[in-house]
């Protein structure tokens, strides 16, 4: 398989997952469900013009992520990293465990990398672009500056040298990452308050976009709790009553 074909295949898969997840969520919740789910809306509606920018930056980031995944695939083919291509070599149970290990490693890495990206000297060069979307739609899930796209995937390269990973595990991980990223950027809250103690919610990440401080986690509400970087109003925003007005889950974040 030529390198170009491999890159095209990985990119197309990644872009298709993004289009299905972000596009599906936007269609079902933002368009068709706009009236029906009005009570779940976290902020007021953003100006429509931002969706095009969110998609453009996301497509660029996915191409960068895919090119780095192509390189790690090639290192496995060359026998340099521990990537393998026969599922039977370790079995399906191991494959599922390897996906879970990737999630835990990525979550911890992301918390600290995200905190670093909020350092004033780093923020404006790397992470500011993602925060121009103070009221994101699902299409903002991968709307990163190219430098941030590199930071987002950098954890995987060293891991590939200590953890045997099959391409199917990487594909499954891309699907899980994208689904959860879309939920984080959904702008609507469907989870019960109990979920908020352990996992990221749309309210959690929406507050991060609105305020640009605290709330650095990717999946699990562990590092933010351990390090005291959850905003005090987070739990209250999740506890809000169903009959409260739309877009008033928390104050000061409206366009
Ligand atoms: Zn975000
Ligand atoms: Zn941030």
Segments forming the whole domain that contains residue 79: 3-239
**pTM for the whole structure:** 0.91
CB 169 within 8 A of CB 99: yes
Report the C-alpha gap between 60 and 210 in whole angstroms.
24
Q: How far is the CA of 113 from the centre of ligand 2 (A)?
A: 10
Determine, yes or no, domain membership for 198.
yes
Residue-level length of the chain: 255
Determine, yes or no, domain membership for 251.
no
Determine, yes or no, domain membership for 250.
no
Q: Could you report the per-residue pLDDT of 212-246, keeping only the tens digit for each?
A: 889 999 999 999 999 999 988 887 788 765 555 44
Q: How far is the CA of 218 from the centre of ligand 2 (A)?
A: 11
Q: Could you report the per-residue pLDDT of 122-165, keeping only the tens digit for each?
A: 999 999 999 999 999 999 999 999 999 999 999 998 999 999 99
Determine, yes or no, domain membership for 255.
no
Report the C-alpha gap between 47 and 44 in whole angstroms.
10
Determine, yes or no, domain membership for 249.
no
Determine, yes or no, domain membership for 207.
yes
CB 229 within 8 A of CB 252: no
Q: How far is the CA of 182 from the centre of ligand 1 (A)?
A: 9
Q: Which residues contact 56 (CB under 8 A, 6 or more apart)?
A: none
Determine, yes or no, domain membership for 230.
yes
Q: How far is the CA of 83 from the centre of ligand 2 (A)?
A: 31
Q: Facing residues of 199 across strands?
A: 220
Q: How far is the CA of 108 from the centre of ligand 2 (A)?
A: 15
As for how many domains the chain has, the answer is: 1
């Amino acid at each position: 398989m030529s390198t170009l074909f491999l890159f095209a295949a990985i990119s197309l898969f990644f872009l298709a997952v993004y289009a299905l997840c972000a596009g599906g969520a936007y269609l079902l919740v933002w368009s068709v469900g706009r009236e029906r789910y009005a009570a779940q809306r976290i902020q007021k509606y953003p100006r429509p013009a931002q969706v095009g920018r969110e998609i453009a930056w996301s497509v660029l980031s996915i191409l960068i992520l895919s090119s780095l995944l192509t390189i790690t695939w090639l290192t496995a083919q060359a026998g340099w990293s521990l990537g393998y291509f026969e599922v039977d070599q370790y079995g399906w149970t191991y494959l599922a465990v390897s996906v879970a290990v990737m999630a835990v490693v990525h979550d911890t890495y992301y918390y600290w990398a995200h905190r670093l990206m909020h350092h004033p000297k780093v923020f404006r060069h790397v992470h500011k672009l993602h925060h121009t979307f103070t009221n994101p739609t699902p299409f903002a899930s991968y709307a990163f500056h190219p430098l941030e796209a590199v930071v987002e995937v950098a954890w995987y390269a060293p891991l590939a040298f200590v953890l045997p990973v099959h391409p199917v595990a990487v594909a499954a991980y891309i699907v899980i990452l994208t689904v959860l990223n879309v939920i984080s950027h959904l702008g609507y809250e469907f989870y019960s308050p109990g979920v908020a103690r352990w996992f990221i919610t749309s309210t959690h990440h929406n507050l991060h976009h609105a305020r640009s401080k605290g709330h650095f986690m990717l999946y699990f509400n562990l590092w933010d709790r351990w390090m005291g970087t959850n905003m005090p109003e987070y739990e209250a925003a999740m506890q809000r009553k169903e009959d409260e007005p739309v877009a008033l889950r928390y104050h000061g974040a409206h366009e």
